[in-house]
Structure 1
Amino acid sequence: MRLLPLLTAFTSLFSLTVAQKSTNKHQTFADLASSSKGSKGVVLLNDQLFGDLTGPNRNFTSVVLFTALDARFGCVLCRDFQPEFDLLGNSWHKEHPKSDGLFFTILDFSVGKQTFQRLGMSTAPILMLFPSSNAGPGSDQPIKFDFNPSDITPAEAVARWVTTHTKHTVTIHRPFNYVKLFSFIGGIIGTATLSKLAYPYLAPALFSRNLWAAISLVSVLLFTSGHMFNHIRKVPYVVQGRGGGVSYIAGGFSNQLGLETQIVAVVYAVLAFSSIALCLKMPRMESSGKQKIAVMAWNLVLLVLFSFLMSIFKMKNGAYPFFLPPLIA
């Protein structure tokens, strides 16, 4: 019975010592974050500091970026992500000058080779979150962040990841980009100046009815022939037919081929030009004989091409009920 009070006192003393040690660790890293030589709020580690940071009985969470910034290693992703991580630590430090239980740290390969070898790391960057020891089951295992190798990972993505796995809410305070603002203003001024200088030369073309009519016709022909359908569906140019030959007309009204689109576009273009010629050019011809011949020729073109167009519809769907001589599919 006498041992029980002694055991209780020893346990209390041990707990107090551990708590005091954890508090001292927290204060040490908080001071390092405030006096960092790099970005404010980011602690630069070495092998010894990393051991202290991730040791047992820690009452704080740490985010460690394992990186290799030296040009000898050629780690482009490391250098690209570094400003985003600095922004992450700086944003947290602005709202939490005393760190409040969350530290953003960096361990570079040049000063942490032993740690890299001990953890079996052969690539960089690697981002890990070491939870607090009292975070619950699994707190002794770090959580790894998955980088996107094809793009720069923004600080906002890492902030969401940290917020998801901890009780801390990280808000990014991205500084205002004055370079982009001045570039935008300069672009507007330059465009306005260039437009004013070029206006006397471009005005005749900009207000030309023929130019806009041509642009409108080309746009109409381009889209009515099915160009956007081909672009969206990625259809083949031609396919192999039943007899082993080349098929350039796809069956069904919901399918088409690249060459088929071009054929239909040419037919539409010639039909449009025929109609324009009959409406605008023929009435201006002075010779009545030549005018009659031209009218008959363009009408013949209209007849043959419309007949060909309907035969294409018939080829795509045998149930198509209409036809126009002389071509009957």
Structure 2
Amino acid sequence: MDVSLKVLCGLLLVLQLYGTHTDGQVKKETLLSDKVSQLMDWASRRPVIRMNGDKFRRFVKALPRNYSVVVMFTALQPQRQCGVCRQADDEYQILANSWRYSSAFTNRIFFVTVDFDEGSDVFQMLNMNSAPTFIHFPPKGKPKRADTYELQIRGFGAEQIARWIADRTDVHIRIIRPPNYAGPLMLGFLLAAIGSLVYLRRNNMDFLFSRTTWGFAALSVVLIMTSGQMWNHIRGPPYAHKNPSTGQVNYIHSSSQAQFVAETHIVLLFNAAITLGVVLLLEAATSDMDIGKRKIMCVAGIALVALFFSWLLSVFRSKYYGYPYSFLMS
């Protein structure tokens, strides 16, 4: 009887432990299902889910979790004067929309934003003092060093962030940008202006056979394209960036993946000055002017090429960290 009683007690204990484990597993699966359902409901209405501290701790930090979360920590309120935050948020919205409306959309990954004024406790919890910052929270474990996006090196373009996400999650997102009609509209105005000019000069079309006219037009197109004007039409960057803490205005973007409008104008000016220097050198070598004027043109051409090429290389060095070569100035 004693042996039978012990066996019976053991069986009851095993059943109790199994039942407790089963109940805990069921509760865990139920909690996970509720979290995923809630996130999917939010994502269906807004691809980028806004969260405060409580939602962040529940849906991003707390277990269980079988999905990845990409969080952009930002400061979008006007009083923060974070122009880069607004630009990064626009690219982040394009990224999230591209994922939400793609045929591969699943609950494997969600896009979240935490604003400083809505979740300052989250910034304190993660010891963060800068924005914008992108962090990937994996389904298991804590974020590693590679789960923090290198914004200063890669830039905040949607394509660059998508490649980083593919490296961390194996989720490939094809970026789909909304159509920008500014370029075709400007092209239409330009063609209309050229057509009007040709119509007004229809009785004298000699200018169409001028090599100088066509050369200047071709050079203008080359300078515009190499300076990044089309990039500005596509991305719509700000003219410059003002640091809210120091008040310093930056006209050159620190990343090789982005640029300001002012930077485009600076590069255009430098390229034009280098081109003018080359033209002066060619004229000095081939023209029939007296030797004194040719010497002046030669010296001016060398000065323009050397000085502005050095400045152009300095701009490139400031954007592409680690580039070893410089000329005249660092």
Superposition TM-score, scaled by structure 2 size: 0.57
2:159 alignment partner AA: E
Write the letter of the residue equivalent to 2:170.
Answer: K
Q: Deviation of residue 27 (structure 1)?
A: 0.7
Structure 1 SS opposite 2:152: coil
Q: Which has the larger radius of gyration?
A: 1
After TM superposition, the structure 1 = structure 2 runs for residues 20-99 of structure 1, keeping only pairs within 5 Å, are 20-35=30-45, 40-54=46-60, 55-95=62-102, 99=106
Shift of 1:187: 2.3
- The runs of 5 or more residues in structure 2 that have no matched partner are 1-9, 216-276, 292-330
Secondary structure in structure 1 of the residue aligned to 2:151: coil
Residue segments in structure 1 that go unaligned for 5+ positions in a row: 134-138, 216-258, 275-300, 302-329
Distance 1:122 1:99 in 2: 33
- Alpha carbons of 1:85 and 1:207: their partners in 2 closer, same or farther (altered >3 Å)? closer
In structure 2, how many angstroms separate the alpha carbons of the residues matched to 1:263 and 1:182?
39
Match of 1:240 in 2: none
Q: Tell me the CA shift for residue 144 of structure 1.
A: 0.5
Judge conservation of contact 1:70–1:110 (CA < 8 Å) in 2.
yes
Please name the residue that 1:148 is paired with.
152
Q: Which residue of 2 aligns with 1:130?
A: 137
Runs of 4+ in 1 over 6 A off after TM superposition: 261-265
- Per-residue displacement from partner, 1:41-70 (whole Å, max 9, x unpaired)? 110111111111221221111110000011
- Find out whether 1:5 has 2:15 as its counterpart: yes
Q: Secondary structure in 1 aligned to 2:114?
A: strand
Q: 1:192 aligns with which of 191, 195, 200?
A: 195
| Match runs of 1:305-316 below 5 Å | none
Matched position secondary structure for 2:20: helix
CA distance in 2, matches of 1:263, 1:85: 48
* 2:166 alignment partner in structure 1: 163
Partner of 1:113: 120
Aligned residue pairs total: 215
Q: Structure 1 stretch 151-160 or stretch 191-200: which is displaced more?
A: 191-200
Helix, strand or coil at the partner of 1:123? coil
Whole-Å Cα distance in 1 between the matches of residues 38 and 93 of structure 2? 20
- Secondary structure at the counterpart of residue 134 of structure 2: strand
Asked whether the 8 Å contact 2:73–2:131 carries over to 1, the reply is: yes
Shift of 1:107: 0.5
Superposition deviation, residue 170 in structure 1: 1.6
Note if contact 2:67-2:139 (Cα within 8 Å) is conserved in structure 1: yes
2:195 counterpart letter in structure 1: A
Q: Percent identity?
A: 26
Shift of 1:96: 6.2
Alpha-carbon RMSD? 3.2
Q: Distance in 1 between matches of 2:280 and 2:63?
A: 72
- Aligned to 2:66, what secondary structure does the other structure show? coil
**Whole-angstrom distance in 2 between the partners of 1:14 and 1:99:** 27
Measure how far apart 1:162 and its partner are: 0.8
User: How many Å separate the matches in 2 of 1:207 and 1:6?
Assistant: 97
Alignment deviations for residues 18-60 of structure 1 (CA, whole Å, 9 cap, x no partner): 121111111111111223xxxx311011111111122122111
SS at match of 1:92: helix
Distance 2:165 2:119 in 1: 24
1:276-287 matches, cutoff 5 A: none
Contact 1:23 1:59 in 2 (8 A): no
